[in-house]
Structure 1
């Protein structure tokens, strides 16, 4: 099994030349890394112009392994070859190291790079990747893998400290500045620039930026070790690596539409840092968010009046860890009345709106408290809960909400405080607990009776400051400083009565029957309001969308996500001036059966491709445009990729699933450059492009 490691960017707030001098002091021995016994220089040469220096060392490392393992492998030391290439003009040091010992049994490859920070030329960045592949090691493959990764993690943790140690050592010796390398080419270029044109700033920029090595962009630089500590919290070496790997994996699928690192980290934690599982889970969630326009929910959601009047919940300050606190008085909720007055879908929208508010509140809290806040706390008061709350449609709606929230907002719940649980609560808990993720279930804390009123450990004030405990739970909310609260969090998220100095969480109550509007027996229970169409394609099936255009120069745009399997996407066109004259009428959607046979023959005989066919892989998000220069019929076509492999027997039927949206922009209404609208596919790999040609 191959173990991969990829580091975030680590930043030294020192100039590149000074860091390089500190780096050289690690050789020939480094007491700070006890396993590094020493090294011998096998090659040290420079290019004729002095720009590139290449150094090759044979490094000797002590084997930190159990005595019995040392005896079996018969060595106390292992040897690595390290090759350094320093480009003085571009200020880049590239390092590659690989094992010489046991090379036929174990493959270790490490690559590192030092380079100037793209935003601050006085800082130096460092990043590294490594892979470990143990093919055969005397039956001790698992043990060696664990030892190697443990030792590697220890060395990485020391890496930055060692550079800082030698920089401090240089300072003690009076060396605080090292002049950059004097580049003759740069000097001659500057002289020529002055002689030719005093305003040739563009030329100078091109000369200085003419590098062979691509540096990370500002967006890529966001994930530095400092950023992790400030905004994400403490992660170990492998967790940092998994986070970087997941980011790159999602970027390959979705181009620039990648969620923030805090979101990526939540999905990794939900899958125990499995990049593959997190990628699959996150991809499905991104599909869901796009289909239901979740990103617009905070701005466009209009809360029904029934919710405003009878829903007993709201945001209320923070817990002691700085997490936003949401209070729900479930025992006072008329579940049946709410469902019959607004319906299950509207109740789901309310839950999603609360979750979206929670995400924004966590971002605000991270800024306010100056430490990462990635979860929120839910306090559920069950006073008044009885058997009427176990109404079957209500339980069904609750389970559906739990399922959707668990899948799309993992690891956002930091703690769930269950207050004043009555005797019937165990029945409700038995019904719903099996649908709650095990990690989330561990975060539930139950209080029966008045146990929560105990002071000190075990009481509610262990988690919430006394002044923020709601008055209906015996707190002193009326004594809180309203001005301080407003300074902490945006007002649009706070739900309390500032004039009465008390928490503004409705007490609930029975919804009047005259407000009932929904026939629960007739509800579908599906929230399907979306701009996107969803389709499934079995083996041999193709999906077509036919668009008539009488507007030369109009723009056809499309946006679709492949949710399962692979599909082949093509854009076709049939001109009105074709030999057959008028266009035969075809259904907008033609899948399978006689319609498919008719459409296939019609397309083959009369339509031409106006966009190259592309293979769109599972998880990819595709966007594109086509300028409809000619009138006629245009066709968007999706085809199950298996249909192309006719000479292979189908072992199983793999359904492809996708959701799509398209629209046409009239030529008269478009005011931009037509060239900018030429088809641009995001999230499509180079491999896809080559396969489609």
Structure 2
């Protein structure tokens, strides 16, 4: 591995920073490709940290007014005097923390200060800086996500996962909110019904709580037939089941907060590895496990308070080597691993769980209702085609659609209105890039979108799910008219709105590419500017949307219901 600065080959006034790595895997139990991916992920993380360090010092130079640094050259030693090494003591550096104040006055800021009793009762100890970060992120969500706003406890988890760095927390939180909306995770507990094979052979379940009042989940992984479950259910059904477990955990945390009178925002997981062997390292099963970990880490940060791993066998280090790189460093610090019967002594299970609720299969007296598992009968196995169709069904069970927008190729949606005074409602997220949202009206129906000529030759168009309806020969103001002012929407924003139709006919909802202004040039270009330029050059945006047409009376009822629950619709 190397990380060397070199002079740019075409401009000697520039410095290039290069990193390189070499990896040679001879044999790793058939998981050579997986280990390569793990190494690449670690390497990519290292590159990202290096970029942040370089940007930090570039900003320091800019703030000091330094726009040019001469090339360093070593001083030749004096021929008459011996070279004596000089030790320069390190200068004391006092770290400074700048808090971006909201634009409101001091009195308005005080209004948004959280109540001390509320913090103590529901959120836990927060420093003034942490409280400020929570308020600022919540208010940003209220300004950009006009619909339902997550609870403070949920926002706080993402802030803690990024050490209260608002920009980083906002990025992963917005991605998670979009993911939750796309797959309707908020309704998962009401809509997901676990197949019977999970009830019989999935060896996990909730079991009372630990000494801190956290909900306790027990997983007897060593008794689970991972291969049988994957072959009988598929990867997507297992993922959906694990997500329902996490949603249930969040609900139990809220209940325990009320019961114990103190904030409980995470749960404890006890994993019993008795019976774990090489058959659990079946590659499709490990692949499914890694994907589940990745999804959970991205969308449920700081929900695991403690992980107790008991009776770890000799094969456990192999599984740990495969899994640990996909687990956040802060999460790994919460792992406590016991080999053999070490969990029964001092510093073991009794330090975290009351003796009377220790399960009977761990030497306790409490009867545990977690299934014992066993091998899934091969008669329940499904063919690859059946599993693929089921996975497609699971991921398409969403009311939201996605579309790509390119420069010069907007995405358009046609809505036919029969009765005037109907209400067109929309709800969309800008997943990538910036877009401009328009609504047009036409008395005549646009022609159906022409079939992609590339598709007739077996070539897939890069536009994918991009639909254009307005013919290029149409004239604005003659063939169609604009009925709403254009709305510019930034990346990461969630937009809800409605339009009351005045005439029957055909309405076209349009999302088009918004060209970003050219980046300001400086003597010391920042990496963010370079990345922004690359993003503009890609000429691609992406939105996820849902629309519905309501009668005026139905719409008013919906608005009243939304206001009752504190989630008013944005009116356009």
Q: Same fold (TM over 0.5)?
A: yes
- Aligned residue number for residue 45 of structure 2: none
The verdict on how the C-alpha distance between 1:659 and 1:421 changes in structure 2, with shifts beyond 3 A counting, is same
Q: Work out whether residues 254 and 683 of structure 1, in 8 Å CA contact, stay in contact via their aligned partners in 2.
A: no
Correspondence 1:323 to 2:214: yes
| Matches of 1:503 and 1:256, distance apart in 2 | 42
* CA gap 1:418/1:628 in 2 versus in 1, 3 angstroms: same
397-406 or 530-539, larger mean C-alpha shift: 530-539
State whether structure 2 residue 339 is matched by structure 1 residue 504. no
Task: Tell me which protein shows more strand as a share of its residues.
Answer: 1
After TM superposition, give the deviation of residue 666 of structure 1 in Å.
4.9
Pairwise CA distance, 1:144: 7.3
Distance in structure 1 (CA, Å) of the matches to 2:213 and 2:316? 29
1:414–1:294: structure 2 CA closer, same or farther, 3 Å change rule? same
Q: Is 2:384 the partner of 1:519?
A: yes
Measured after TM superposition, the shift of residue 245 of structure 1 is 1.3
Match of 2:305? 414
Q: What is the aligned partner in structure 1 of residue 540 from structure 2?
A: 655
How far apart, in 2, do the equivalents of 1:404 and 1:625 lie? 33
Match of 1:586 in 2: 448
Q: Could you tell me how far 1:396 is from its partner in structure 2?
A: 1.1
Tell me how far apart the structure 2 counterparts of residues 566 and 232 of structure 1 sit (CA, whole Å). Answer: 35
Aligned to 1:432: 323
- Equivalent of residue 642 in structure 1, options 515, 528, 531: 515
- Out of 334-343 and 358-367, give the one that drifted further: 334-343
Aligned to 2:474: 602
Q: Does 1:462 align with 2:351?
A: yes
Q: Output the CA distance in 2 between the equivalents of 1:440 and 1:143.
A: 30
| Structure 2 unpaired stretches of 5+ | 1-61, 66-90, 100-104, 453-461, 519-532, 562-566
| Residue deviations 1:56-80 (CA, integer Å, cap 9, x gap) | xxxxxxxxxxxxxxxxxxxxxxxxx
Q: 1:279-298 alignment to 2 at 5 Å?
A: 279-298=170-189
Secondary structure (helix, strand or coil) at the match of 2:230 reads helix
Q: Give per-residue Cα distances to partners, 1:328-374, cap 9 Å, x unaligned.
A: 11111111211122211111111000000110111111111111111
The match for 1:306 is 197
Cα deviation for residue 564 of structure 1 reads 1.9
Residue in structure 2 matched with residue 560 of structure 1 by the alignment: 428
Within-5 A mapping of 1:43-442? 143=94, 145=96, 223-255=114-146, 257-442=148-333
Distance 2:385 2:159 in 1: 38
Aligned partner of 2:49 in structure 1 is: none
Alpha-carbon spacing, 1:592–1:572, altered in 2? closer, same or farther (3 Å): farther
Offset of 1:596 from its aligned partner? 4.5
Contact 1:549 1:634 in 2 (8 A): yes
Match of 2:407 among 539, 542, 546: 539
Measure the CA separation in 1 of the matches of 2:127 and 2:490: 32
**In structure 1, how many angstroms separate the alpha carbons of the residues matched to 2:352 and 2:558?**
59
Q: Which has the higher contact order (CA 8 A, sep 6+)?
A: 2
Paired residues of 1:253 and 1:683 also in contact (CA < 8 A): no
Q: Distance in 1 between matches of 2:132 and 2:270?
A: 35
Deviations 1:280-339 (A, max 9, x none): 111111111111111111112111111111111100011111111000111111112111
RMSD (Å) for aligned C-alpha atoms: 3.5
* CA distance in 1: counterparts of 2:172 and 2:451, whole angstroms: 30
In 2, Cα distance between the equivalents of 1:417 and 1:627? 57
- 1:609-624 aligned within 5 A: 609-624=482-497
Question: What are the Cα deviations for residues 534-568 of structure 1, in whole angstroms up to 9, with x where unaligned?
Answer: 12223332000112223333322111011122100
Q: 1:301 to 1:341 in 2, by over 3 A?
A: same
| Structure-1 separation of matches of 2:267 and 2:559 | 47
| Distance of aligned partners of 1:644 and 1:597 in 2 relative to their CA distance in 1, 3 Å threshold | farther
**SS of the residue 2:129 aligns to:** helix
Q: Of the candidates 358, 362, 365, which is equivalent to residue 473 of structure 1? A: 362
Corresponding position: 1:548 with 2:416: yes
Using the alignment, how far apart are the partners of 1:452 and 1:589 within structure 2?
Answer: 65
* Mapped partners of 2:385, 2:278: distance in 1: 20
Match of 1:670 among 549, 554, 560: 554
Change (3 A) 1:505 1:614: same
Residues 391, 600 of structure 1: CA spacing in aligned structure 2 closer, same or farther, 3 A cutoff? farther
Secondary structure class of the residue paired with 2:537? coil
- The alpha-carbon deviation at position 589 of structure 1 amounts to 11
In the alignment, is the contact (CA less than 8 A) between 2:447 and 2:469 conserved in 1? no
Distance 1:557 1:597, change over 3 A: closer
The count of corresponding residues between Structure 1 and Structure 2 is 448
Give a deviation string over 1:197-239, Cα, whole Å, max 9, x none.
Answer: xxxxxxxxxxxxxxx9997999x57x31221122111112211
How far apart in 1 are the matches of 2:241 and 2:475?
46
Q: In 1, distance between residues paired with 2:144 and 2:377?
A: 50
